[in-house]
Amino acid sequence: MAENDIWWCLQPFLDDEDAPQLAGPNRAKFRQMVAGTDHAYQLAIKHQVRVAFGTDTLFDARLAARQGAQLAKLTRWYSPAELLQQATARNAELLALSGPRNPYPGRLGVVEEGAIADLILVDGDPVTDISLITRPQESFLAIIKGGQLVTGG
């Protein structure tokens, strides 16, 4: 994958508070998937595969609200700085590869004139304390989307 510049968008399946409550054979299958998640991330790191952050929690309001927490859980494999880059600049790089399917007319994942960027003002430094992104209602002071203050301030 790395040799061919192929991206891998991994979803972290973890046996934690966000895991589905399963029993019997389904529980055993889920545990295999969790072990596979760990193995997949280890392989991606070992072979320097480009990884994007993604989830399919879009259709579950409770889990969608926990996407920051989902991202923060990846510190078992990546540093907080790597995770923040993965979810922002790296995902933007991947999206830019979609050509005409890319719905955004402009450069993504950077803060510069003419680029498209949503900004979040965080009360603290998520590079040293990634848990800040797990509590957006407390830690996010302002969100700017499309050049407009959406919340905060």
| The pLDDT value given to residue 69 | 87
| The pLDDT value given to residue 153 | 54
What pTM was estimated for this model as a whole? Answer: 0.83
Q: Hey, is 103 helix, strand or coil?
A: coil
Q: What is the mean pLDDT of residues 22-49?
A: 92
Nearest to 141 by CA among 128, 130, 152, 129: 152
**Of 8-12, 13-17, 35-39, 103-107, highest mean pLDDT:** 35-39
Contact call for residues 144 and 150 (beta carbons, < 8 A): yes
What letters, b where the CB count within 10 A reaches 16 and e where it falls short, cover 16-26?
eebeeeeeeee
Give whole-number Cα distances, 129 to 75, 125, 134, 139, 148, in Å: 11, 6, 10, 11, 27
Q: What is the mean pLDDT of residues 115-132?
A: 92
Q: What is the mean pLDDT of residues 5-30?
A: 87
Q: What is the mean pLDDT of residues 45-72?
A: 83
- Stronger pLDDT, 55 or 87, i.e. the higher one: 87
| The pLDDT value given to residue 20 | 80
Q: What is the mean pLDDT of residues 116-121?
A: 86
Contact call for residues 57 and 66 (beta carbons, < 8 A): yes
Domain residue extents for the chain: 7-110, 118-153
Helices within the chain (DSSP H only) = 24-46, 61-64, 67-72, 80-85, 91-96, 136-139
Question: How far is 69 from 58, CA to CA, in rounded Å?
Answer: 14
Q: At 113, is the pLDDT very low, low, confident or very high (cuts 50, 70, 90)?
A: confident
- Residue identified by tokens 């991330």 is 41
